[in-house]
Amino acid sequence: MNLSSLGRRLAALIETSPTQQIELGVLYDAAVAFDRSLATAPDARSEIRAALDELVAAGVVILPASAGGYDRREQPPLPLWVRRPPRPRRAAQPKPVRVWPAALEAAGRIASRDDELAVLEAVAAFLRDCGEARPSVPVRERSLELFGDEKRLDRLSTTRLFTAGALTLELLRCHQVPIPFVSQWVPGAVDPHGKALLIAENHHTYASLLEVTRQHANHGGPGRHVGYGTGNQFPSAVLSVPLLVPAPQRIVYFGDVDLKGLQIPVAASLKALQAGLPAVVPAIPLYELLFATPHRLPGARVAVDEAAAASEWLCEFAGDACMALVNGQRLPQEAVGYELLLRHQDVLHRI
């Protein structure tokens, strides 16, 4: 159907409108901008209505169906708005079926998003290049190789491709690296109980224990590793114990008496045993000194069952620790400081 020049102008406006519904004021302004005479011409209203009727006949617009949708102050009535008909949806193009290697079939059934498919393409290329025969490397090295981003695999490990077990670090021939912790070997006499790694939860206590252990070793005390457990990181850092030379035969821990301070070594001990390392045991002589101090600071009250479970690790001091937690008290390990340790160096013989 042939449109008038005004009809073509309004059709172009409607086609490019960001909204499906266009108000009368917008149409009127566009008509006047196209033909200035319409601003004062007596028949301007009729020309605009005629152009809109052309667009209706051409299927370009839809007019209101009810009488209330029109401006009837003058003749002919003009629609308060026109609406562009819904545009036909393009049929979605079926994605080509991707045949994945056998090792990626499970992941291929899960992946549906473009980002997931891109991950599988990178892994497939790795496997195609004999990646399964490569040595296992730290996870961030493999992540950089595969994705150009050393932290991408850390993020991917929490997504459904990994949590469902469809992708694994083993498949990508990489592994997590335990967080290293600060540790120093203090040479001294042979420890009859076996070489010990003495861990302090907090770094100030670590500094004091290290200095007193050195002095004690200079006077015939046993040689041992003294380490800083880095607080909450110790359950991960304990896995780096095999890197220490000489190899520790015992892992002994001293931390705060509060819920977290007791849960940390319990979690670390479980990780250590799973890795074939010695269990993490409490440095009982140091806890004995701690409970003998008057320092009781306010802490969060802990339910009896939770307090008892966390305190069980402390062996003969489990009851005292449980009572402190239930009563909302905590004992900071800094109470066993440098000066107190100097006065009681004998405890280092008993660790």
Residue of higher predicted confidence among 319 and 7: 319
pLDDT for position 86: 84
Query: 248 and 283: one domain?
Result: yes
* pLDDT band at residue 1 under the 50/70/90 scheme: low
Residue 270 lies in a domain: yes
Looking at the structure, tell me whether residues 346 and 201 fall in a common domain: yes
* Burial class, 224, CB count within 10 angstroms (exposed 0-12 / middle 13-18 / buried 19+): buried
Instruction: Tell whether 32 and 159 lie within a shared domain.
Output: no
The predicted-structure confidence for 187-219, as pLDDT tens digits, reads as follows: 999 998 899 999 999 889 999 999 999 999 999
- Does residue 208 sit in the same domain as residue 326? yes
- Give pLDDT, residue 252: 98
Pairing of strands 81-83, 21-23: antiparallel
For residues 281 and 9, the model is more confident at: 281
**What is the pLDDT, as a whole number, of residue 344?**
93
| Greater pLDDT, 34 or 313 | 313
Q: Is 206 in the same domain as 330?
A: yes
Q: Please report whether residue 44 resides in a domain.
A: yes
Domain at 326, CATH number = 3.40.50
Specify whether 148 is located in the same domain as 248. no
| Cα–Cα distance measured from residue 142 to residue 136, given in angstroms and rounded to the nearest whole number | 9
Say yes or no: 157 and 264 in one domain. no
pLDDT bracket for residue 95 (50, 70, 90): low
Q: What is the pLDDT of residue 93?
A: 65
Q: Select from 126, 160, 175 the last residue of a domain.
A: 175
Pair 334, 192 in one domain: yes
- Is 89 a member of any domain? no
Q: Are residues 295 and 196 in the same domain?
A: yes
Please state, in angstroms and rounded to a whole number, the distance separating the CA atoms of residues 226 and 348: 12
Mapping DSSP onto H, E and C, the string for the chain reads CCCCHHHHHHHHHHHHCCCCEEEHHHHHHHHHHHCHHHHCCCCHHHHHHHHHHHHHHCCCCECCCCHHHEECCCCCCEECEEECCCCCCCCCCCCCCCCCCHHHHHHHHHCCCHHHHHHHHHHHHHHHCCHHHCCCEEHHHHHHHHHCCCCHHHHHCCCHHHHCCCCCCCCCCEECCCCCCEEEEECCECCCCCCEEEEECCHHHHHHHHHHHHHHHHCCCECEEEEECCHHHHHHHHHHHHHCCCCCCEEEEECCECHHHHHHHHHHHHHHHHCCCCCEEECHHHHHHHHHCCCCEECCCCCHHHHHHHHHHHHHHHHHHHHHHHCCEEECHHHCCHHHHHHCCHHHHHC
188 with 331, same domain: the answer is yes
Q: Give residue 115's domain range.
A: 102-175
Confidence at residue 3, expressed as pLDDT on a 0 to 100 scale: 86
Is 97 within a domain? Answer: no
CA distances to 137, 235, 301 from 134, in Å? 9, 29, 52
Identify whether 95 is part of a domain: no
Q: Which of 56, 83, 110 is the last residue of a domain?
A: 83
Q: Shortest CA distance to 48 belongs to which of 84, 74, 69?
A: 74
Q: Residue 94's pLDDT is what?
A: 65
Torsion angle (degrees, nearest 10) of CA 305, 306, 307, 308: 50
* Confidence label for 287 from pLDDT (cuts 50, 70 and 90): very high
Span 139-143, average pLDDT? 92
Verify that 309 and 239 share a domain, yes or no.
Answer: yes
pLDDT tens digits, one per residue of 144-172: 999 999 999 999 999 999 999 999 999 99
Residue 340 has pLDDT above 90, yes or no: yes
Q: Do the beta carbons of residue 203 and residue 229 sit within 8 Å?
A: no
Q: What is the pLDDT of residues 73-94, one digit of tens each?
A: 889 999 999 999 887 776 666 6
pTM, 2 dp: 0.59
Q: Using CA atoms, how far apart are residues 326 and 308, in angstroms rounded to an integer?
A: 9
CB 174 within 8 A of CB 138: yes
User: How many other β-carbons are positioned within 10 Å of the β-carbon of residue 174?
Assistant: 22
Does residue 90 belong to any structural domain of this protein? no
pLDDT (0 to 100) of residue 100: 93
Domain boundary among 155, 175, 195: 175
In the chain, the number of structural domains is 3
- Look at residue 92 in the predicted model and tell me its pLDDT: 62
pLDDT confidence tier of residue 225, bands split at 50, 70 and 90: very high
Residues 281 and 250 in one domain: yes
Q: What is the mean pLDDT of residues 292-299?
A: 92
The pLDDT value given to residue 41: 84
pLDDT tens for 238-251 read 999 999 999 999 99
The string of pLDDT tens digits covering residues 19-76 is 899 999 999 899 888 888 888 888 889 999 999 999 998 889 999 999 889 999 889 9
- 79 within some domain: yes
The pairing of beta strand 224-228 with beta strand 280-282 = unpaired
Q: Is the residue at 78 inside a domain?
A: yes
170 exposure class (CB count in 10 Å sphere: 0-12, 13-18, 19+): exposed
